[in-house]
Amino acid sequence: MRVLVIGAGALGGYYGARMARAGRDVTFLVREKRAEQLRRAGLQVVSPHGDFAVQPKILLANDLKETFDVVLVGVKSYSLDDAMSQFAPAVGTDTMILPILNGLKHIDALTSRFGAARVLGGLANVSAGLDADGRVVQFMANQTIVFGELDGALSERALALETLLHVPGIDVRASEAIMQDMWEKFVQLSTLAGITCLMRASIGDILAVPNGEQSIFRLFAECCAIATASGFEPRAPFIEFDRRLFTTPDSPLKASMLRDIERGSITEAEHILGDMANRARALDIDAPLLNLARAHVAAYEIGRQRAVG
pLDDT digit string, tens, across residues 117-155: 999 999 998 888 889 899 999 988 889 999 999 999 999
Q: Angle formed by the axes of helices 275-282 and 288-308, to 10°? A: 140
Which pLDDT score, from 0 to 100, does residue 127 have? 82
Question: Are the beta carbons of 130 and 13 closer than 8 angstroms?
Answer: yes
Task: Using alpha carbons, select from 135, 141, 32, 17 the residue that is nearest to residue 72.
Answer: 17
Number of domains within the chain: 2
On the question of pLDDT at 188 being above 90, the answer is yes
Strand, coil or helix: 127: strand
Give CA 60 to chain center in angstroms.
23
Q: For the residues of 129-151, what is the DSSP string, one character each?
A: EE-TTS-EEEEEEEEEEEEEETT
Q: What is the mean pLDDT of residues 81-95?
A: 97
Neighbours of 153 (CB within 10 A): 11
Boundary (domain end) residue, out of 123, 147, 176? 176
Catalytic residue chosen out of the listed positions 76, 105, 185, 254: 185
pTM: 0.92
Q: Same structural domain for residues 7 and 156?
A: yes
Query: If you average pLDDT over residues 182-199, what whole number do you get?
Result: 98
Of the pLDDT bands very low, low, confident and very high (cuts 50, 70, 90), residue 258 is: very high
Domain boundary among 176, 192, 209: 176
What's the average model confidence in pLDDT over 282-304?
A: 98
Cβ atoms of 80 and 107 within 8 Å: the answer is no
The answer on 134 and 79 residing in a single domain is yes
pLDDT of residue 308: 87
- The whole domain housing 192 covers 181-308
Say whether both 74 and 87 belong to one domain: yes
Shared-domain flag, residues 61 and 10: yes
pLDDT of residue 13 exceeding 90: yes
What is the bridge-based pairing of β-strands 52-54 and 136-149? unpaired
Q: Are residues 188 and 145 in the same domain?
A: no
% pLDDT > 90, the chain: 94
| DSSP letter (8 states) at residue 209 | S
Q: Is the pLDDT of residue 5 over 90?
A: yes
Q: Are 143 and 38 in the same domain?
A: yes
According to the model, what pLDDT value does residue 309 have? 78
Residue 185 is among the residues annotated as catalytic for this protein: yes
Q: Is the pLDDT of residue 158 over 90?
A: yes
Same domain, 190 and 282: yes
What's the rounded mean pLDDT across residues 226-238? Answer: 98
Residues 162 and 188 in one domain: no
Q: Which CATH number do you get for residue 194?
A: 1.10.1040.10
Q: How would residue 83 be classed by pLDDT, with cut points 50, 70 and 90?
A: very high
At residue 141, the pLDDT reads: 85
d(CA 69, CA 33): 26
Q: What are the tens digits of pLDDT across the range 38-72? A: 999 999 999 999 999 999 999 999 999 999 999 99
83 & 209 share domain = no
Give the domain-ending residue among 127, 143, 176.
176
Give the chain's mean pLDDT: 96
Residues 164 and 129 in one domain: yes
Provide the 10 A C-beta neighbour count for residue 238: 19
Mean pLDDT of 78-93: 96
Q: What is the pLDDT of residue 93?
A: 95
Clarify whether residues 207 and 161 are in a common domain.
no
Are 135 and 243 part of one and the same domain?
A: no
Q: What is the pLDDT of residue 140?
A: 81
CATH number of domain containing 108: 3.40.50.720
* 271-281 pLDDT, tens digit each: 999 999 999 99
